[in-house]
Structure 1
Amino acid sequence: MKFIYTVIVSLLVLFVITFSLKNTAPVPLEYYGVINTSVATYLLIFISFFVGAILVGLLDIMERFRLIRTVRRLNKKVKELEKKLSSSKSLLVAEETEPSDRPSEETSI
């Protein structure tokens, strides 16, 4: 498994290097006069990729926190229901072990 991981990472690094060498043309960036510069094509693409990856990571973190809250809420509900079930079982057992006030069939004959 480590070998496969190493091969994949090596191929990815090779791709990044060859992509960077082939895409060095400058791209002008302008944004309402605030930004007015030119950046290499590969740099613009890599920056866009990493900004997107960071945003997706932040969204994933938010989703994980939401799921953690849901799991905690559901675990709390399960514990409450288990308590309720055990108390119901103990009441049922207590009713079965109490002697009843009604006469048994043997004495009524």
Structure 2
Amino acid sequence: LNLKSDCLIIIIINSDYSINQPTRVQKASEHEMVKLHCTYSTNSLQWYRQYPGSAPQFLVFSTKLRKEKQSTKETNSVDLIISSAAVSDSALYYCALRPTITGNTRTLYKNLT
């Protein structure tokens, strides 16, 4: 008996939502203020931090705080500010449109732009 099964997966992406974190690498000296910028077009945004070899950590949830005009589209902007940088702040920081942390600690989950 030879059984063959096919599977079709359809992913629908809502293009009305966008997120942009323009700075890829940010360098800072100790005690320096660091500002990480993120713009988004939904009602809320989350910031996460991930140390090498560790699971992402939730930092902050934000709703519409500051509006910006980009082209013809209105967006919201939230800066993550580290007031006095320390070596222990060295990590991957990213913003996401919806809650991102799951039980899988080996994979970085990130909403792509």
Give the TM-score taking structure 2 as reference length.
0.25
Higher helix share: 1
Give the TM-score taking structure 1 as reference length.
0.25
- Return the index of the structure with the highest Cα Rg: 1
Higher RCO structure, 1 or 2 (CA under 8 Å, sep 6+): 2
